[in-house]
Chain A
Amino acid sequence: MNQTVKLVLEDGTEIEGQSFGAFTSAAGEVVFSTAMTGYPENLTDPSFAGQILVLTYPMVGNYGVPGEELYESISKIFESDKIHIAGLVVNYYSEEHSHWNAAKSLGDWLAEYNIPGIFGVDTRMLTKKLREKGAMLGKIVAEQDVPLHDPNLENLVAQVSPQGVQHYGTGQHKIVLVDCGTKTNIIRCFLERDVELIRVPWDYDFTTLDYDGLFLSNGPGDPKMCEATIQNLQKALQQDKPIFGICLGSQLMGLAAGGDTFKLKYGHRSHNQPVKLTGTQRCYITSQNHGFAVDTATLPAEWDMLFENLNDGTCEGIKHASKPFFSTQFHPEAAGGPQDTEFLFDDFLKAVAAYKAGR
């Protein structure tokens, strides 16, 4: 029998369950994801830094965790080099797993990174609570109690962003990737597309670099924490080089443009978010993981909403009326989730090519 642990929420809710992964305590913001597959991708997504993740899909761990493989020093398998979540909450953990590329169980993998997991939890009840009351602070408590802790008060981006500048690949387009906690699949998507990638830390003044296009990555927490990035970005917006932002990158673009962002009640974390390309009948199913969004009403006149969420009408991306600047709140790079919008990388590089041609 597994050891007993409990999940404690800031509203006083206490749920008992069984431990898997590391038998330890951890605190963070409790959020839920309704994705049915992709826990190896999710758990290594830096955007989840500081969060205790509740998975609504009830059986987790079925296909184990694959072994690591590297390509150009980046992971071919995972979305970063470590697990970023603070803790994992599931209904049922499948200790035995079966898959041709599994190297270990989910529990062993969590334990490797000292991340606690709890199962035997009525995750639907918990999700409904989070839906109604909004994302809350919480903790998984093993033996030693820990205090509640709000990760949004910290600069999480600074914690997950790399220290130095790295170069990847060779190609005709030189793209700067401002890494606020990028998923490696974004890098992979670029490297498949004739790109030389310069990956810089979140606060790096990339305006000093020679590049053809600028990319703003996803990342954790409140975008307003990234003051340095916003300042650099404001400079880039004065120029005409194409800019593409994803998730946090979209929020940063909105802030740099002069708009505002706000915290969603319980965020969008799933593989089934419907978005519509504004002014068309064209819709896409997208992968999402964010707690903040751009407030479209606050955008300056020369900025428009590019995509709209069909469920709640929130902003799913913005674009500049005349310059090649655009962003998506969702994840065109998927991993995990649907791959229907990966063409946006092509669109971006086309804009880069057009910019270069016109220069």
Chain B
Amino acid sequence: MIRVAVVGAAGYIGGELLRLLIGHPEVEVAAAVSSRFPGKRVDGVHPNLRSATDLLFCSADEVDECDTVFLATPHRAAMTQIHRWIGQAKQVIDLTGDFRLDDTEVYQRYYGTAHAAPHLLGDFVPGIPELHRESLRSADLISVPGCMAVAGVLALYPLVARDLVEPMAQFDARTGSSGSGATAGEANLHATRSGAMRVFAPTGHRHEAEISRHLGIPARMTATGVEAVRGVQTICHVTLRPGADRSAVRGAFREQYRDEPFVRLVAHQRGAFRYPEPKILLGSNFCDVGYAVDEAAGRMVTIAALDNLMKGGAGNAVQCLNIRMGWPEALGLSFPGLHPV
């Protein structure tokens, strides 16, 4: 058993971390840190955890030494607290945006502020098991990517790695409202969001910088908030390189993800769910990836879907923990999702 602390435990990602870690057979949740609710019951904020835990939120100062700390604070809080947590735990798994980029200038451009711990940027291993599994086995600093970035990277990596597409990707991403966090704001009002297809980032979304970093090609992304609480879907348009055809594309995806426990190929020609659909992934750690090739036009589309709080956040973080600890990679992550829902 290891002892873990979740910092920022009252947020949506924090709640999912608690749900997964409380149910994890090798983990004891030692502390749930919240600056807003110290002393309050965890299941008062996360009612799905009733009878699963009697834990109370605590302040950061009350945390004893533990093995692993998960940071699910708002962006910018992690980089200002990072030295405290590095001194207190063997591993830090950060789920904020603070250590996702490895270039201070790019960070400043996308986040609008100078980085508070630039010397640590290169020390974090990206929490993408499908690309960095070997490094994660010994990583003590892990940065879990953004939800739309994970989807975008997994949807395109097999093609970029094999030089099958031209080096420019256009993403159209859709997301549910939980991606905006658990704090109120005009844009999060039910009256604003319900029924809307709200284009909130036509250019310059932060996850576009992450996708570019991991794929090594320029990526552009539009982000739209849709009528859902959870779920992300990215559709990516790319141009095929001369000679690249449907068979090569199919082979690339099959070879890349044959042994991946949480990436499934979904490119069906029959049934109601032919391409990746976030709705059936809610609560699960899967990223479904599909594609369609237009050989005559020399172009193709890739589609990815995931639960933004799971493979796009807490689930991916627990998968990284399992790899780091040498446990079975799917430990505590076996929930297959719901249907119908």
* Same assembly: no
A residues contacting B by CB (< 8 A) are none
B residues contacting A by CB (< 8 A) are none
